[in-house]
Amino acid sequence: MDKILQWSIAQQSGDQEAIEKIGKPDPKMLEQLFGGPDEPTLMKQAIMVIDNEEATLENKEIAFDNFEMLIENMDNANNIENIKLWPSVINKMSAETPTSLRVYAASCAGIAVQNNPKSQEAFLKYDGLAQLIKICNEEEATTELRLKALFAISSLIRNFEEGYAKFDDLDGWSVVKLNGNQDHKVKLRILSLVSAILSTPFDKKKEEHVHKEKLVANIITLLRKDGHVGCIDKALNIISQLASSNFEFTSNEIADIAQGLGEIEALKDRISEDDYNSVKQVSIDRIAYII
């Protein structure tokens, strides 16, 4: 309060030196003193603009951007459910919605549920996961939209058994497709999703999915042919996760993994010496653990 009083006096007197010395007061304190809207109200106002059919696309994008910044705060993320805004956010993931708004909706979902059990549970009450899986399987979905949807799914199911169970029921494994033609960013997101899947208890059914999707073979292909350091690092992490989950690698898979790790030598001329040594050492440690 004393700082606000000094700032006010300096403003009235026009004393620039004093103004600079005092600095600007806390905006939140000013809002409390002068009756500015609180953050849940700002969230509601943003959604009102987004839902308004007469609002321009640009204004809706600005409103979604503001909403996204607000929910980076965990309390505000939890308030999405408290003030019943999830239906509006999830509705903007539909195919009939402009792509830019779908990107924002998927991004907001991912931000809100990331490392946030309350929002994970709240989001699961709605059909948002089904919408996200549908986006990932749309051939016409842009790379940006697919990346945001994959991020949201990974954030939802990581360390959340109920989230993974719903993912499995909705045939979520259909999005776990790795191929050589994919953008490396998409591959990284899919590998992050696999890691999130493996963060929940590993049972017989999950092991069957790993075999059915030929996950190990596809990951080995990344080690042997991809050459992207980020993808290789995540692939190695997944192999380690499988090993620590007592997944039974076949003798052929172990041989292929060993060969793939050997071919990491080809990275030597393409990345920094520090990165190369790091990847090589981690590779040695992990293959030793598997064998």
């943003």: which residue's tokens? Answer: 46
- C-alpha distances (whole Å) from 57 to each of 60, 65, 106, 287 are 5, 12, 17, 52
CATH code for the domain defined by 37-173: 1.25.10.10
Global pTM value: 0.81
- Nearest C-alpha neighbor of 113 from the set 136, 90, 140: 90
The token duo for 174 is: 């259909």
Beta strand extents in the chain (DSSP E only):
none
Q: How far apart are CA 267 and CA 222, in angstroms?
A: 13
Q: How far apart are CA 100 and CA 134, in angstroms?
A: 17
Each of the 291 residues of the chain gets a pLDDT tens digit; together they read 455 445 455 555 666 666 566 565 565 655 554 556 789 999 999 999 999 999 999 999 999 999 999 999 999 999 999 999 999 999 999 999 999 999 999 999 999 999 999 999 999 999 999 999 999 999 999 999 999 999 999 999 999 999 999 999 999 999 998 876 678 899 999 999 999 999 999 999 999 999 888 888 888 887 776 667 788 888 888 888 888 888 888 888 888 777 777 666 665 555 555 555 554 555 445 555 554
